[in-house]
Protein backbone atom coordinates (compact mmCIF):
# COMPACT_ATOMS: atom_id res chain seq x y z
CA UNK A 1 0.00 0.00 0.00
CA UNK A 2 1.37 3.40 -0.99
CA UNK A 3 0.99 6.36 1.32
CA UNK A 4 1.02 9.87 -0.10
CA UNK A 5 1.88 12.57 2.37
CA UNK A 6 1.00 16.22 2.17
CA UNK A 7 4.29 18.10 2.43
CA UNK A 8 2.78 21.50 3.15
CA UNK A 9 4.01 23.20 6.32
CA UNK A 10 1.55 22.94 9.21
CA UNK A 11 0.50 26.59 8.91
CA UNK A 12 -0.27 26.09 5.21
CA UNK A 13 -2.44 23.07 6.04
CA UNK A 14 -4.39 25.11 8.58
CA UNK A 15 -4.63 28.02 6.15
CA UNK A 16 -6.04 25.70 3.49
CA UNK A 17 -8.62 24.34 5.93
CA UNK A 18 -9.68 27.88 6.91
CA UNK A 19 -10.03 28.85 3.26
CA UNK A 20 -12.05 25.70 2.59
CA UNK A 21 -14.28 26.39 5.59
CA UNK A 22 -14.81 29.98 4.42
CA UNK A 23 -15.71 28.76 0.91
CA UNK A 24 -18.16 26.20 2.31
CA UNK A 25 -19.75 28.88 4.47
CA UNK A 26 -20.00 31.25 1.48
CA UNK A 27 -21.66 28.64 -0.74
CA UNK A 28 -24.86 29.16 1.20
CA UNK A 29 -24.81 32.91 0.54
CA UNK A 30 -26.84 34.11 -2.45
CA UNK A 31 -25.79 37.29 -4.25
CA UNK A 32 -27.54 39.54 -6.77
CA UNK A 33 -25.22 41.69 -8.89
CA UNK A 34 -26.59 45.00 -10.20
CA UNK A 35 -24.49 47.02 -12.64
CA UNK A 36 -25.20 48.45 -16.09
CA UNK A 37 -21.74 47.37 -17.25
CA UNK A 38 -21.57 43.74 -18.39
CA UNK A 39 -17.82 43.89 -17.76
CA UNK A 40 -18.25 44.97 -14.12
CA UNK A 41 -20.90 42.30 -13.54
CA UNK A 42 -18.46 39.75 -14.93
CA UNK A 43 -15.59 40.98 -12.71
CA UNK A 44 -17.76 40.92 -9.58
CA UNK A 45 -19.27 37.54 -10.42
CA UNK A 46 -15.89 35.96 -11.09
CA UNK A 47 -14.49 37.11 -7.74
CA UNK A 48 -17.58 36.01 -5.81
CA UNK A 49 -17.89 32.60 -7.46
CA UNK A 50 -14.18 31.94 -6.91
CA UNK A 51 -14.76 32.65 -3.22
CA UNK A 52 -17.69 30.22 -3.05
CA UNK A 53 -20.66 32.59 -3.24
CA UNK A 54 -23.70 31.69 -5.34
CA UNK A 55 -24.59 34.41 -7.81
CA UNK A 56 -28.34 33.95 -8.23
CA UNK A 57 -29.01 36.86 -10.55
CA UNK A 58 -27.67 39.83 -12.48
CA UNK A 59 -29.41 43.06 -13.45
CA UNK A 60 -28.36 45.96 -15.64
CA UNK A 61 -31.07 48.40 -14.61
CA UNK A 62 -33.01 49.40 -11.51
CA UNK A 63 -36.39 47.96 -12.44
CA UNK A 64 -34.90 44.52 -13.12
CA UNK A 65 -32.84 44.79 -9.94
CA UNK A 66 -35.92 45.41 -7.80
CA UNK A 67 -37.87 42.58 -9.45
CA UNK A 68 -35.00 40.11 -9.03
CA UNK A 69 -34.30 41.18 -5.45
CA UNK A 70 -37.91 40.64 -4.46
CA UNK A 71 -38.15 37.32 -6.33
CA UNK A 72 -34.79 35.86 -5.27
CA UNK A 73 -34.40 37.34 -1.77
CA UNK A 74 -30.59 37.22 -1.91
CA UNK A 75 -28.39 37.49 1.17
CA UNK A 76 -26.45 40.31 -0.50
CA UNK A 77 -26.86 42.76 -3.36
CA UNK A 78 -23.94 44.54 -5.00
CA UNK A 79 -25.54 47.71 -6.34
CA UNK A 80 -24.04 50.15 -8.82
CA UNK A 81 -25.19 53.61 -7.83
CA UNK A 82 -25.71 55.02 -11.32
CA UNK A 83 -28.02 52.94 -13.54
CA UNK A 84 -29.80 53.90 -16.78
CA UNK A 85 -33.25 54.19 -15.22
CA UNK A 86 -32.59 55.18 -11.59
CA UNK A 87 -29.90 55.65 -8.99
CA UNK A 88 -28.95 53.07 -6.39
CA UNK A 89 -30.29 55.21 -3.54
CA UNK A 90 -33.79 54.95 -5.04
CA UNK A 91 -33.45 51.17 -5.26
CA UNK A 92 -32.37 50.96 -1.61
CA UNK A 93 -35.44 52.99 -0.63
CA UNK A 94 -37.78 50.63 -2.51
CA UNK A 95 -36.15 47.51 -1.07
CA UNK A 96 -36.40 49.00 2.42
CA UNK A 97 -40.09 49.80 1.88
CA UNK A 98 -40.61 46.19 0.75
CA UNK A 99 -38.84 45.06 3.95
CA UNK A 100 -36.22 43.07 2.07
CA UNK A 101 -33.52 41.95 4.50
CA UNK A 102 -30.70 41.65 1.94
CA UNK A 103 -27.46 43.42 2.79
CA UNK A 104 -26.55 46.01 0.15
CA UNK A 105 -23.09 47.07 -0.92
CA UNK A 106 -23.12 50.17 -3.10
CA UNK A 107 -20.51 49.96 -5.85
CA UNK A 108 -19.78 53.09 -7.82
CA UNK A 109 -17.18 55.29 -9.42
CA UNK A 110 -19.06 58.20 -7.91
CA UNK A 111 -17.10 58.95 -4.74
CA UNK A 112 -19.16 61.83 -3.47
CA UNK A 113 -19.22 61.91 0.32
CA UNK A 114 -22.86 63.06 0.37
CA UNK A 115 -23.91 60.07 -1.75
CA UNK A 116 -21.95 57.66 0.46
CA UNK A 117 -23.48 59.09 3.64
CA UNK A 118 -26.99 58.96 2.19
CA UNK A 119 -26.52 55.32 1.13
CA UNK A 120 -25.42 54.35 4.63
CA UNK A 121 -28.35 56.32 6.15
CA UNK A 122 -30.73 54.40 3.90
CA UNK A 123 -29.34 51.07 5.06
CA UNK A 124 -26.43 50.16 2.78
CA UNK A 125 -24.00 47.92 4.64
CA UNK A 126 -20.97 49.31 2.82
CA UNK A 127 -19.79 51.38 -0.11
CA UNK A 128 -17.07 50.22 -2.53
CA UNK A 129 -15.45 52.63 -4.98
CA UNK A 130 -14.43 51.61 -8.51
CA UNK A 131 -11.82 50.62 -9.40
CA UNK A 132 -11.44 47.98 -6.71
CA UNK A 133 -9.47 44.79 -6.30
CA UNK A 134 -11.02 41.34 -5.97
CA UNK A 135 -9.55 41.21 -2.48
CA UNK A 136 -11.23 44.45 -1.39
CA UNK A 137 -14.54 43.28 -2.89
CA UNK A 138 -14.39 39.96 -1.02
CA UNK A 139 -13.36 41.65 2.22
CA UNK A 140 -16.27 44.11 1.93
CA UNK A 141 -18.74 41.31 1.09
CA UNK A 142 -17.51 39.10 3.95
CA UNK A 143 -17.76 41.99 6.42
CA UNK A 144 -21.25 42.92 5.23
CA UNK A 145 -22.46 39.34 5.68
CA UNK A 146 -21.05 38.84 9.17
CA UNK A 147 -24.46 39.43 10.73
CA UNK A 148 -26.32 37.22 8.20
CA UNK A 149 -26.80 33.68 9.45
User: Which residue, among 107, 106, 108, 100, has the nearest Cα to 67 in the 3D structure?
Assistant: 100
Contact 138, 51 (CB under 8 A): yes
Q: In percent, how much of the chain has pLDDT > 70?
A: 77
pLDDT at 19: 43
Lowest mean pLDDT, pick from 30-34, 62-66, 130-134: 130-134
User: Which residue, among 93, 65, 67, 68, has the nearest Cα to 79 in the 3D structure?
Assistant: 65
pLDDT over 50 (residue 16): no
Q: Please report the domains of the chain, with CATH numbers, ordered by start residue.
A: 29-143 (3.40.50.2300)
The listed range with the strongest mean pLDDT (7-11, 47-51, 117-121) is: 47-51
pLDDT over 90 (residue 33): yes
> Does the reported pTM lie above 0.85?
no
Amino acid sequence: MTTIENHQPENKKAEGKNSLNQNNKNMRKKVLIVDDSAYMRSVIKSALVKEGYEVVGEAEDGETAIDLALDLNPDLITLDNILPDMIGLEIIKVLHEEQLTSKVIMVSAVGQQTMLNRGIELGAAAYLLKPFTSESLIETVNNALVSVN
